[in-house]
Amino acid sequence: MNEQMQQLSSRTMRVLEAVINGYLSTGDPVGSMTVVRNYNLKCSPATVRTEMARLGGMGYLTQTHVSSGRVPTSTGVRYYLDQIMHEEKLSLIDIEKLHSSTLSLSEDYQVMVRNTGRTLAEMTRQAGVILMPGLRHLPMRRIEFTKLTSKRIVALLVSEGGRFFNRVFDWGEELEQQDLTWASNYLNEKFKGKTLAQIRKSVISELREEKARYDKMLAKALGLMETVFQQGQLDEEVFIEGRENLVEKPEFADSKKIIELFKTFKEMNFIAELLSKALEESKPVVLLSNETGMQNIPELAIIMARYGTSGPGGGTLGIIGPMRMNYSRVIPIVRYAAEYVSDILNA
C-alpha cells in the first residue's frame, strides 16, 4: 500500500465507500446529495463535495462530465477492495449450486472443473475462466496401455490429482496385450509419482543407453511412452465459459469493445499468464483494468483463486467481467469454489 492510501481520514473513507457502493449498484455517477441521503453520512452535501474533490485529486474518483457526480477509478476500486469491502456470507443455495457442479466424481477431471466454471458464470452472470494445469507438471499415479486393434493402442494416464489423459495412436508393429501390460507395469513401477516432464527426461536418457538397445521389451516400453508425449496437449489449457453473459453488460454495449474482448479471449497464452498469477496465492486474487495489461479494455476485472496444489501442478478458476461488479458477493463464491474443488481432488 502506498502512503497516499494510508492518509485517508475516516470521513473521506466513508465517502469513497458510499460512492463506490452506489456506482457498483447502479452504474451511474454518484452525487453528493445521493451520498448524504442514502448512506447516512452526518455531514452536509457541501462537505461531501469537498471530500469528493479531495478523492478526485488523489486519483480515486473521477467525473465523466463537469456537472455530473463521481465514479471510481481503478485506483479507487483497489483501495475499496483492500481496505473497505466486507465479503458477504454464502447462502445455502449458493453452496448447494457449487456442490452440484462437482457431484459426479466418476467424471473426467476436466469435465468436473469445467462444470465448476460454468456454474461460476451462471451464479455471477460473468464469464467463468479455468486454467487447467499442464499434465507435464502433474505427478502420475498410473500409466496404462490397451490394445484396440493389431497396431492401434490407447494410452491412459492418471495423475495423483485424479486428472485423466488418454490418447489413441498407431504403433509400427503388432503388439499383444501381454506386452502392453508388461510395458504398463514397468513404467508404473519405475515412474509412479514423477511428473511427465521428469518421466520424459528419463525416457529420453534411457533410450540412449546400451541396455535399451539389447532389451527389446524395455525399448518398446520406453518407445510407447515417448509416443504418448508426441500425441497431445501436455501444457496448461484455458477454458472460458459463459462469455455470452458479457454481451449483456452495459460496459460492453459498444460492439467494438466486445469484439476486442473476445479477440483477447483467443490469446490463450496471454490469458494463461494472467490466471497463473493466482497459483502461488492462498486467497483470491483480483486484477483490475490497469493491472491486467489489457489497455484496450479499461473496464475489465478478473477474480481468480488457485485450486489443487500450489505452483505449476495447480490450476486457477474464477471469473472475468466488467470492473463494476458485486465484489463482496463474487469473491467468496470464487473462494469457496476453489476450496471445494481442491478438497475433492485431494480426497
- CATH fold for the domain made of 3-84: Arc Repressor Mutant, subunit A (1.10.10)
* Strand, helix or coil for residue 145: strand
Beta-carbon contacts of 312 under 8 Å, excluding residues fewer than 6 positions away, are: 133, 134, 137, 279
Q: Phi first, then psi: what are they for 97, rounded to 5°?
A: -65, -45
Instruction: Give the chain's mean pLDDT.
Output: 85
Q: Does domain 136-229 have CATH number 3.40.50.10090?
A: no
Contact 149, 170 (CB under 8 A): no
pLDDT at 280: 85
| pLDDT tens per residue, range 170-221 | 888 888 899 899 989 988 888 888 887 788 788 777 767 656 555 677 777 7
Give the percent of the chain with pLDDT over 90: 41
Domain limits, the chain: 3-84, 92-133+236-346, 136-229
Query: Using CA atoms, how far apart are residues 101 and 117, in angstroms rounded to an integer?
Result: 9
| pLDDT tens per residue, range 208-220 | 765 655 567 777 7
* Strand, helix or coil for residue 105: coil
What value does the mean pLDDT take over residues 114-131?
94
pLDDT at 106: 46
Query: Using CA atoms, how far apart are residues 178 and 176, in angstroms rounded to an integer?
Result: 5
> Checking DSSP bridges between strand 127-132 and strand 140-147, what pairing results, if any?
unpaired
| pLDDT tens per residue, range 142-154 | 889 999 988 888 8
Contact 252, 264 (CB under 8 A): no
Query: Using CA atoms, how far apart are residues 276 and 302, in angstroms rounded to an integer?
Result: 12
Q: How many CB atoms lie within 10 A of CB 298?
A: 15
For the domain bounded by 92-133+236-346, which CATH number is listed? Answer: 3.30.450.40
pLDDT at 87: 94
| pLDDT tens per residue, range 53-105 | 999 999 999 987 766 789 999 999 999 999 999 999 999 999 999 988 776 54
Give the percent of the chain with pLDDT over 70: 89
Handedness of CA 249, 255, 261, 262 (dihedral sign): positive
Q: Could you tell me the pLDDT band of residue 23, with boundaries at 50, 70 and 90?
A: very high
Least confident of 12-21, 167-176, 241-250, 335-344: 167-176
251-279 burial string, b = 16+ CB within 10 Å, else e? bbeeeebbeebeebbeeeeebbebbbbbb
